Amino acid sequence: MKNKVGQFNRKGNKVISIAKIAAKLFSTRGYLETSMDEIAAAAKISKGGIYHYFTSKVEILYFILNNYMDLVLGDLEEELKGVEGDFAKIKYIISRHIDLYVRNVYEAKTLLHEAHNLPPKSFKIIAEKERRYYQIVAGVLQSCLGASVEKDKVTAVAFTLFGMCNWIYSWYNSKGPVTPQQLSKIIFGIFTNGVSNLQDDGGRSYP
C-alpha cells in the first residue's frame, strides 16, 4: 500500500509540474504555437514520457484551467460567511483574487487567452465555473449597491472589478516595490470609491 501511495503522489506531483511548465509556455508563446515536444523538453522528460501523464496537449490545457478555477472557487462562499459587512467582503474578494493571481499568473493568463482552444464540452465546464465565480461576486456587489439597482449595472460593476484584478499581468511585477497586499488595497480603494458614487433609482448614495 505504501508503495502505491508513494507512486501516486510522485505521479501527482509530476502532473502538476508539467502543467505549470506548460502554463508558462502557453501564456508566453501561445497554446497553438507550443508543441508537446517543447513541453516535454522544458519539463526534462522524453516526448514519449509525457504521454504517461497526459494523452494530449488539449488535456494539459484543460487540466491547467480546471485546476485554476477550482482554486478560484475553493470554499469562497463559506469564507465570505465569516466576513462581516459588504465592503469587507469586497475587500476580501479582491485580496484573495490578487493573491491567487500572483501565485498562479501563468495559469490565470492562460485562462484569459487560451480557453477558447478547448473542445466544446471541456470549455463548457470551465465557463460554468467562471459563471459561478461571477455569481458569487455579483451577489456581494448587489447586496452592497442595493436590491433596486438593475442587474445590468451590477454586471458592469462586476466586470469592471474583474478587469482591474485580471489585467495586472500586463504591467504588475509582484517582486517590485508594490506588494500584492498593497496592490489589493489600491484596487479596493479605487473600486469602492467608485462604487460609493453610484446611486440607485431612489437616489440613495453610498458613503
Just give the CATH number of 58-196: 1.10.357.10
The three-state secondary structure class of 163 is: helix
Query: Is it the case that residue 29 has pLDDT exceeding 80?
Result: yes
| Confidence at residue 145, expressed as pLDDT on a 0 to 100 scale | 87
Quote the pTM value. 0.85
**Angle at CA of residue 36, ends 31 and 38, nearest 5°:** 85
Query: Is it the case that residue 192 has pLDDT exceeding 80?
Result: yes
pLDDT tens figures, 106-126: 999 999 999 999 999 999 999
Of the candidates 171, 172, 170, the residue with the CA atom closest to the CA atom of residue 181: 172
Report domain extents, the chain: 58-196
| Confidence at residue 12, expressed as pLDDT on a 0 to 100 scale | 80
Query: Is it the case that residue 147 has pLDDT exceeding 90?
Result: no
Task: Provide the percentage of residues in the chain whose pLDDT is more than 90.
Answer: 74
Query: Is it the case that residue 203 has pLDDT exceeding 60?
Result: no
Phi and psi at 200, nearest 5°, equal -85, -175
Phi and psi at 107, nearest 5°, equal -65, -40
Distances (CA, A) of 156 to 72, 82, 113, 127, 149: 21, 26, 21, 18, 11
If you write DSSP's letter for every residue of 77-104 in order, what string do you get?
A: HHHHHTS-SHHHHHHHHHHHHHHHHHHT
pLDDT tens figures, 67-101: 999 999 999 999 999 999 999 999 999 999 999 99
